[in-house]
Chains A and B, each alone.
Chain A
Amino acid sequence: MLTIHLFNGLVYGALLIVMSSGLALIYGLRRVVNFAHGALYMLGAYLGYSVAQHSNFWVALLLAPIIMAVVGVLLDRYGFRLLQDHEPLNVMLVTFGLLLILEDLVVFIWGKTNLSLFTPDLLNFSVDLLGNEVPAYRLGVIAVGAAVALGLTLWLRFSRIGLFVRAASTDPVTTSMQGVNTDALSATVVGLGCALAGLAGVVAGPFLSLSPHMSSDVLIDSFVVVVIGGLGSLAGAFIAALLLGMTQAIGAVYLPEVSVLLPFMFMTAVLIWKPSGLAGSRT
Chain B
Amino acid sequence: MGLARTGALTLLALLAGLAIPLLATSSNLLGMFTQAVIYAIFALGVGVLLKQNGLVSFGHALFFGAAGYGMGVVLALGWMPAEWAMLAVLLAIGVLAFLIGLVIVRVPGIAFGMLTLAIGQMAYLLASRARGVTGGADGLSVNWPPTLFGLPQSLLLKPATLFVISWVLMVLVTLALVLILRTRFGAITEAIRDNEERARFIGFATTVPRALVYALSAVVSGIAGLLSVFNTGFISPENLHWSVSAITLLMVVVGGFKRTLGPIVGAILYFVCKDLLGDWATHSMALFGAALIAVIVFSPDGITGALARLRERLRYGPLKKGSPP
Contacts and interface: CB of A to CB of B under 8 A. Distances in A.
A275 B108 CA distance: 7
Chain A interface extent, by class: 35 or more
A280 interface: yes
A101 interface: yes
Interface in A216-234: 216, 220, 223-224, 227
Chain B interface extent, by class: 35 or more
Nearest to B55: A89
Contact of B114 (A97, A99, A105, A267): A267
Interface string B216-255: 0000000000000000000000000011001001100100
Interface in A261-283: 261, 264-265, 267-268, 271-272, 275, 278-280
A89 B296 CA distance: 10
A92 interface: yes
A221 to B, nearest CB: 10
Contact of A264 (B104, B122, B288): B122
Contact of A89 (B109, B117, B246): B109
B296 A93 contact: yes
B114 A96 contact: no
A98 interface: yes
Nearest to B242: A220
Given A224-B118, A272-B103, A89 B290 contact: no
Nearest to A280: B109
Contacts of B293: 94, 97-98, 101
Given A88-B109, A90-B296, A272-B107, A100 B114 contact: no
A114 B160 CA distance: 41
Contacts of A260: 125, 129
A33 B121 CA distance: 18
B297 A83 contact: yes
Interface string A10-42: 000000000000000000000001000000000
Contacts of A272: 103-104, 107, 115
Given A275-B111, A280-B109, A100 B289 contact: yes
B243 A216 contact: yes
Nearest to A31: B110
B113 interface: yes
B200 interface: no
B122 A100 contact: no
Interface in B191-211: none
A97 B292 contact: yes
B119 interface: yes
B297 A94 contact: yes
B286 interface: yes
B137 to A, nearest CB: 13
Interface in B101-148: 103-104, 107-115, 117-119, 121-122, 125-126, 129
A17 B297 CA distance: 32
A129 interface: no
A96 B242 CA distance: 12
B277 interface: no
B48 interface: no
A135 to B, nearest CB: 29
A100 B288 CA distance: 8
A191 B197 CA distance: 38
Contacts of B286: 100-101, 103-105
Contacts of B283: 104, 108
B109, B115, B289, B297, most chain A CB atoms within 10 A: B289
Given A264-B122, A272-B103, A257 B292 contact: no
Contacts of B308: none
A159 B12 CA distance: 68
A107 interface: yes
B31 interface: no
Contact of B113 (A92, A256, A257, A264): A92
A54 interface: no
14 contacts: A83-B296, A93-B253, A93-B292, A97-B250, A100-B288, A104-B285, A216-B243, A220-B117, A224-B118, A261-B122, A268-B115, A271-B118, A275-B111, A278-B111
Interface of A: 33, 82-83, 86, 88-90, 92-94, 96-101, 103-105, 107-108, 216, 220, 223-224, 227, 256-257, 260-261, 264-265, 267-268, 271-272, 275, 278-280
